[in-house]
Amino acid sequence: MAALVALVFSIYFTASVLQPATAAAEAGKAKASMQQLPTYFPNTEELRGDEMRITALGTGLPTPITRAQKNSAWLVELGNGDVFMFDIGVGSMVNLFGLRPDFSKIDKIFLSHLHSDHFGDLDAFIVGSWLSGRYTPLHVYGGSGETPELGTKAAVESLLMALAWDIKSRTGLLPDAGGKVIAHEFDYKAENQAVYEKNGVRILSWPAIHSLDGSVSYRLEWNGLVFVFGGDTRPNKWFIEYAKNADFAIHECFPTPEGLAAFNDWEMRPSTFVSSYIHTPPQGFGKVMSAIKPRMAVAFHTVLLPDIQQGMLEGIRKTYDGPLTIANDLMVWNVTKEAITMREAVFADRVTPPSTTQAYKKAPRSGEAKMSKYIMTGVWKGFTPPPLPAR
């Protein structure tokens, strides 16, 4: 039922993407676009040189993580060949692998903060992308914290310590550089600072208000297009100032306090605090979008059950009447200066790994990891493996 409701909203809001209040002709274009592009089949389309494609890999809450909704993760592909990820929450790798992307291109991840539902699949990505085509170091960007141990650099270093056995055991069999992760930690307090500039792409950051110091929001600028990702935050002055007039603005929209209390079986005090003091409830989301006026407003971080979604929609529409998507996993938007189209990605439940490039196959590898003489004394003489091919 939730999937049906999401599809209905998808169709409705696709039709509304290009509908200024006094432009009937544009409505016809939007309808034609929807009919022409009803479904996105991964790896069947090339991006235009001036086009941006955004895929929702995870849109849900920390719990439950379901087949329909994983934790926060967003894939942004640009017509110049660059690929970025914003957040990589628990379960999102399932959807990313389903797309069978070229992992050699996915080497930049921007974290909004360090809750597990926003970076909990980083370990799976480090190893999985390395196995599946990434042969260069992974770059992870994120804010500092109140103290060094609460910052992105400490989180990445601790994760690599936890993965030490895993990474050492694969080094040599896989390209050496692909096992490396480089943390780029920046001052979370800096307002609208450039944290990435390369190949005509500029990514800026500013503080967000969520749980502890250290949460941030991002703005990606490229080719005259602007993508904004708010991460988790209550409405704040920085987002209002620096997200204005974005082409595509993602901001969390938590269930109402009443909806959250019913869903979690909580009392109203913790439900109100979580929904409205460290997150953003529907009417707050609507007010934010009315202030920044994006070409497309995207709400995420909720549970797409019909009653909760209906309450969210009613709350948003009390304070915002512009283009809107309540996002579900695997929604896909293509953004150009002329149009924004929206579809849903479709792939099989079981997929094979994506093809690897020749550069991956030829990338430098050191010798394979070796086990101790003691362990090797346990080799059973009853089986002889085939000879190893030459390098």
What digits encode the pLDDT tens for the residues 257-290? 888 888 889 999 988 998 899 999 999 999 999 9
SS3 string, the chain, reads CHHHHHHHHHHHHHHHCCCCCCCHHHHHHHHHHHHHCCEECCCCCCCCCCCEEEEEEECCCCCCCCCCCCCCEEEEEECCCCEEEEEECCCHHHHHHHCCCCHHHCCEEECCCCCHHHHCCHHHHHHHHHHCCCCCCEEEEEECCCCHHHCHHHHHHHHHHHCHHHHHHHECCECHHHHCEEEEEECCCCCCEEEEEECCEEEEEEECCECECCCEEEEEEECCEEEEECCCCCCCHHHHHHCCCCCEEEEECCCCHHHHHHHHCCCHHHHHHHHHCCCCCHHHHHHHHHHHCCCEEEEECCCCCHHHHHHHHHHHHCCCCCCEEECCCCEEEEECCCCEEEEEECCCCCCCCCCCCHHHHHCCCCCCCCCCHHHHCCCCCCCCCCCCCCC
59, 66 in Cβ contact below 8 A? no
Residue 304 clears pLDDT 90, i.e. is over it: no
Residue 33: φ, ψ to 5°: -60, -40
Q: Is the pLDDT of residue 306 over 90?
A: no
Nearest-angstrom CA–CA distance, 113 and 356: 31
Angstrom distance (rounded) from CA 131 to CA 174: 7
State yes or no: pLDDT of 219 exceeds 50.
yes
Report pLDDT digits (tens) over 6-25. Answer: 444 443 443 334 333 333 33
Please say whether the beta carbons of 226 and 248 come within 8 A.
Answer: yes
Q: b/e map of 255-280 (b: 16 or more CB within 10 Å)?
A: bbbebbbbbeeeeeeebbebbbebbb
> How much is the pLDDT for 263?
87
Return the number of other C-beta atoms located less than 10 Å from residue 240's C-beta: 13
> Which domains, ranges and CATH numbers included, belong to the chain?
2-18+34-376 (3.60.15.10)
Task: Give me 282's structure tokens.
Answer: 């529907």
Distance from the Cα of residue 366 to its chain's centroid = 33
| Average pLDDT taken over every residue of the chain | 90
Task: Please count the CA atoms within 13 angstroms of the CA of 366 that sit on its side-chain side.
Answer: 11
pTM confidence score: 0.90
pLDDT for 346-364, tens place per residue?
Answer: 999 999 999 999 999 999 9
Per residue in 28-46, pLDDT (tens digit) is 444 434 444 579 999 999 9
